[in-house]
A and B are shown apart, each in its own frame.
Chain A
Amino acid sequence: MRQTIHFLFFLTILFSLSGCEDLFEYHPYDLRFSNSHINTNKKNIDKLASTDTTARDSFKFAFIGDTQRCYYETDLFVKAINNRKDISFVIHGGDLTDFGMKKEFLWMKDRLDKLKVPYMSLVGNHDILGQGKDLFVNIFGACNFSFIYNRTHFVCLNTNALEFDYSVPVPDFSFIKQQIADSALIDQTIVAMHVPPGDIEFNNNVSEVFHYYLKRNKNLLFCAHAHTHYLMEHDYFNDGIIYYGADNIEDRNYLVFTVYKNSYKYEVVYF
């Protein structure tokens, strides 16, 4: 019994010494976390815009998705990217978490923050569970966002229609139209989303319209998505615009797109 007492007191001391901000948990879905964790996407977009300003003929970016509950593999991915010098930034296609809980978001963010290059993350259907959408919006930023790199427009869309049950426009056509209008500084467009058209999570009643609107973006090169947990390459609308699906990170691979003016190349890299 004495040993039990000692053991428990030891545990208490260990706990008080570790003094983390999450020592006391109010609820797995609460939004109580340090301000240093907010607006991650914007911070990374700003970092990309301020540190990498040279105009170039081509650039490479990595695309991953579905890292939920695969922290170890995500660590390996981060190491793999940090070991190469040719990647300009990383796009995470969504599903950082499995249950949309605060700890999951922060555990995943802590790992991705170790990337030497900027990264932006889309929202996945699992990230919306419970209070997850509020957590995502506060930690990463808006569910629809865009940025420009080397005169290429990256339009990142929330396509998790089933989660919102028609209470919010998903996909948000007014946002897409706004992107089409902002074309002065760009030569071409790449669209990223979590759920591809045709999936049960997608609002398939508007998939044709969705694709039509995407094509009204200046010089649409291709679309990238996650969610399916398989490597995919589909010309869903038979018009040469390919939708590339990233594998889940557990399978230890990622997509690398090399973007030229008016063209691109892609490869699957295993780690």
Chain B
Amino acid sequence: MKWSIFKYAFIVLLLVYNTEVWGERSSEELSALRRSKWEKLIPDYHKLQYAGSMGFLSVGTGWEYGKHNNWETEILFGVVPRYRTEDISLTATLKENYIPFHLDLDKKKHGKWVLAPLTASIYFNKIFGEHFWTELPERYPEKYYVLATNLRFNISIGQGITYRLNPNKYAGKSISFFYEIGTNDCYMIEAIQDRSIGLREILSLSLGIKMDMY
């Protein structure tokens, strides 16, 4: 087991048990406070995404934060189906989304439809499989290949539309549909370095549904 796991666990504990708020409180209050702190770790939404260079279909969960929930951090797991001689592959993605503004389409606060005219994302995708490596295997001389074959850095922009659900009827808060257009580090190298590879050739489309729970 790697020591870094303990390091991260320690950081999470520090975040959760932020000492300044403890003060003098009754045990019930303390208990409720502790609970509310842990509740922050419960994901705010679930997501289903099609394509996006991280699998045929990916499912994941994430957290919203920032003043107007402008930021989202999410973890997704994807499946690349079997084609020809290849086996099924699994991928894991760590994704950060930035939504600079939301527009209430019903021209009032807390209307039914909300548009996200622009979303910007960066994400790391890792594919698992025997052919892939992150660090160059020992058999190679140093720096024989530079880029990890299993880890891609992706960027994308997109748009989304959200429908607010009636809280008395449904368990969820809202449902959103979105699309993203993106590319990855290798493709960018290809397009920048070679004049005959156009932007269109390195971009691909992705579609998704997001279910906001809290």
Contact = CB atoms under 8 A, between A and B. Distances in A.
Nearest to A27: B80
Nearest to B84: A31
B118 A131 contact: no
A15 B181 contact: yes
A26 B195 CA distance: 25
Contacts of B193: 69
A26 B55 contact: yes
A139 to B, nearest CB: 10
Interface in A96-129: 98-101, 103-104, 107, 129
Contacts of A25: 51-53, 204
B4 interface: no
6 contacts: A5-B159, A9-B159, A23-B205, A31-B84, A31-B86, A165-B137
B150 A130 contact: yes
A15 B183 CA distance: 14
B32 interface: no
A92 interface: no
Nearest to A128: B131
Interface in A9-48: 9, 11-12, 15, 18, 22-32
Contacts of B203: 15
Interface string B128-144: 01011000010111000
A209 interface: no
B177 interface: no
B56 A130 contact: no
Contacts of B205: 15, 23-24
Nearest to A70: B194
B201 interface: yes
A109 to B, nearest CB: 13
A53 interface: no
Interface of A: 1, 4-5, 8-9, 11-12, 15, 18, 22-32, 69-72, 75, 98-101, 103-104, 107, 129-131, 133-134, 137-138, 162, 165, 200
A71 B186 contact: no
Contacts of A162: 139-140
Interface residues of B, number: 55
Interface of B: 50-56, 80-81, 83-86, 89, 91, 101, 103, 115, 117-118, 127, 129, 131-132, 137, 139-141, 145, 147, 149-150, 152, 157-159, 179, 181, 184, 186-187, 189-190, 193-197, 200-206
A104 B194 CA distance: 12
Given A29-B127, A99-B147, A24 B117 contact: no
Given A1-B101, A25-B53, A162-B139, 7 more contacts: A24-B50, A26-B53, A27-B91, A27-B127, A29-B149, A98-B186, A103-B202
Contact of B204 (A5, A23, A100, A104): A23
Contacts of A12: 159, 179, 181
- Of all A-B residue pairs in the complex, the 9 with the closest CB atoms, nearest first, are A24-B51, A25-B204, A31-B83, A130-B149, A72-B196, A31-B84, A31-B86, A71-B196, A27-B80
B149 A100 contact: yes
A30 B80 contact: yes
Contacts of B149: 29, 99-100, 129-130
A100 B103 CA distance: 43
Nearest to B137: A165
Contacts of B103: 1
Contacts of A29: 127, 149
Contacts of B129: 131
A38 to B, nearest CB: 8
B131 A130 contact: yes
B150 A107 contact: no
Given A31-B86, A69-B189, A130-B149, A165 B181 contact: no
Contacts of A99: 147, 149, 186
A23 B131 CA distance: 26
A71 B127 contact: no
Given A27-B80, A72-B195, A11 B117 contact: no
A22 B51 CA distance: 10
A131 B53 contact: no
Contacts of A31: 83-86
A189 B12 CA distance: 67
